[in-house]
Structure 1
Amino acid sequence: MHNNKAVRQSGDGADDKRDTGSPLFSVTQRDIAIPTPDGFPLAGTLFEGDGRKPLVLISSATAVPRGLYAAFAKASVEAGARAALVYDYRGTGGSVRPKGWEKRIGMKDWALRDLPAAAAALDAIAPGHEMVGVGQSYGGQALGLCGISGRFKRYGMVATMSGYLGDLNDRWAGPRMMLVGVPLSYLFTDMPRWMGLGEPIPASVFRDWARWCRHRHYFFGDPSFAETARYRNVRTPILAFGLTDDIWGTPKAVAALMRRYENAPVEERWISPEDAGGQQIGHLGFFRSRFADVLWPQFIGWLLDATPVTLGERRKP
């Protein structure tokens, strides 16, 4: 079902740069079904405009629905992106299991199958057009696994880190995951919302995640996950934002993941609440609309035009 809806009107539509804060381009949005090679349809929302700047693919954090990123996607298209796509990984949000689906859903499927399928759907809007990527938490980890990193001109990451429990600043994360979450995962098909993870995710995905989080090297320590070797093939420029008030994406956890992008140019910048007008940001706050005026403009400028970023403090990965 393609219900086109105009969400913002532009001014004169000129392809120039202004500092007024007003959108340069009008935007339409529609929900789309994204096919995958193994037949699991994904739910996506596509934002389109008349700009000529890159396509923007946004890949979410674990247990976070695509709706969180809709305002950022729209802002990117208003700034001149040709189109932006947000989508739900299989088994989450609007990407529900097809009737009769019996295959196991693994966390690595999100990176190996779903991200490439979403990129293909976005590419179909303007075949061969320059594409950039955005990934929050798992969505940034997925770049190194997906096998199509070369399709992205640039890739921006927010709160992307190794999930090893020992690197987090949350003393209860381990007990919650191992003593409560894992036993519950054998009782439910999907992890219940009341467990506090966020939106429901497949219990099989949760068990994968928990297994990796126990290991000092996260999923790089999983001998059955051969695709982690793809990390060394990534040469896409990366801008990685850390948040100083993120108890999960600590400097140690972020550095542990960024080191794996050994052949890619990585710029790591740390944003504090002071950079956000004194408001707390945390692990999932960056893409909330209240930060649209203070955190998003430089990020969008880097994504669409490779404009240097001064937001936050730069740290050597």
Structure 2
Amino acid sequence: MEPVSLAISCDDGYVLRGHLWEPGSSEEGGLGAVVVIAGATGVKATYYHRYAAFLAENGFTSITFDYRGIGESRESTLKNLQASWYDWALKDLDAVLEWAQINCAEKHLHVVGHSFGGFSVGLARNGRRINRLLTVGAQHAYWRDYRPGHRLGLWWRWHILMPALAIWNGYFPGKRLGWLEDLPQGVAMDWARSPRDFTTGGAGHAREMMRAHRASFTAPTLAVAATDDPFATETAVLRGLSYYYPNSSAILVQLKPQDFGRAEIGHFSPFHSSFRDTFWMGTIRWLRDGVNPWALK
């Protein structure tokens, strides 16, 4: 199944690149829904292409995209690129959701958000338009919420070294370090901030706008995280839900590796194709029917 390339213009003129998968005429499992996949920080959209194709095979129209400064949406250099988590949510995700609304107007709009992508919907103006949200390992990367045993190492890497290198280089050279994709300086600095500082930051108008966006989100949310995810602990996920989705009827599910016949799952594995017949199939039940398939786990 070959996707169609997309070029989506944001309100400020920045052009994002993405891909669109359409289901075949005989694939009706999605019941007329489009799913936007909002990825994690520093992860290219290609990482989610196999899952997007799987959704199309099950009747959903699916969309992936790269945030500004990442993957196919990266310009020649990241230095001096004004891009932050605010921009990724308020400009980039908002533009993709609007594109989906306009071009798939007859379909319900759902979002699957991984890590940062899981809470970016709450900041976006068009988040209020979606019908159902699935978050996977979504949290703010707050060091006090990291899993014990990982906390010191993650604090040093992401809250000391990353912002320092971002300031020194004018961007974060994550690819050179083998950690993740390079990041715009503003994104790296937002990651290093506490969630309360992030959600209350900015000028008065921006603060009020974000508060209004979060309050307007009322779609049901299924928040999923693995019990061995060093970032998305139960405390971290609940904190994110309370900050970004205060008016959503949210369900938290913690997946145990042994329930999937695994020694570990972690933060990224749920989007590996080896989970196609297990975790991926479970997501179909939520996106199609609004049913939590892991209610008894």
Which bracket does the TM-score occupy, shorter chain normalised?
0.7 to 0.9
Task: Establish whether residue 186 from structure 1 lines up as the match of residue 160 from structure 2.
Answer: no
1:43 matched to which residue of 2?
Answer: 17
Among 246, 249, 255, the residue aligned to 1:265: 249
Calculate the TM-score normalised by the size of structure 1: 0.83
CA separation of 1:142 and 1:179: change in aligned 2, threshold 3 A: closer
Cα distance, 1:295 vs structure 2: 0.6
Counterpart code for 1:201: L
Which protein, 1 or 2, shows the higher relative CO under an 8 Å CA cutoff with sep ≥ 6? 2
- Matched with 2:32 is 53
The count of aligned residue pairs is 283
5+ residue gaps, structure 1, are 1-6, 8-27
The CA distance in 2 between the partners of 1:199 and 1:312, in whole Å, is: 37
CA-based RMSD of the aligned residues comes to: 2.2
- Residue 87 of structure 1: CA displacement? 0.4
Deviation, structure 1 residue 243: 0.9
Q: Give the Cα–Cα distance (whole angstroms) in 2 for the partners of residues 99 and 34 of structure 1.
A: 20
Query: CA, structure 1 residues 218+77, in 2 after alignment: closer, same or farther (shift >3 Å)?
Result: farther
Conserved in 2, the CA contact under 8 Å of 1:40 and 1:98?
A: no
Q: Which whole-Å CA distance do the structure 2 matches of 1:249 and 1:154 have between them?
A: 21
State the AA in 1 paired with 2:283: F
Deviates more, 1:244-253 or 1:297-306: 297-306
Partner of 2:112: 134
Question: Deviation at 1:194?
Answer: 3.2
Q: Which residue of 2 aligns with 1:106?
A: 84
Residue in 2 that maps onto 1:21: none
Question: Is 1:241–2:220 an aligned residue pair?
Answer: no
- Cα displacement string for residues 184-218 of structure 1 (whole angstroms, at most 9, x for unaligned residues): 112324322133441111122212221x2xx3635
- The offset of 1:116, in angstroms, is 1.4
| CA displacement at 1:142 relative to structure 2 | 0.7
1:259-316 superposed Cα distances (whole Å, 9 cap, x missing partner): 2322110011111111222142111111111111111111112102223422673xxx
- Hey, what's the Cα distance between the residues in 2 that align with 1:180 and 1:312? 41
Query: Is contact 2:69–2:78 with CA below 8 Å preserved after alignment?
Result: no
1:202 is the counterpart of 2:177: no
Task: State the percentage of identical aligned residues.
Answer: 28
User: In the alignment, which of 33, 52, 66 is matched to residue 88 of structure 1?
Assistant: 66
Residue equivalent to 1:176: 157
Question: Which is greater in Rg?
Answer: 1
**Structure with the bigger percentage of helix:** 2
Q: Which runs of 5+ in 2 are unaligned?
A: none
- Distance in 1 separating the partners of 2:119 and 2:180: 19
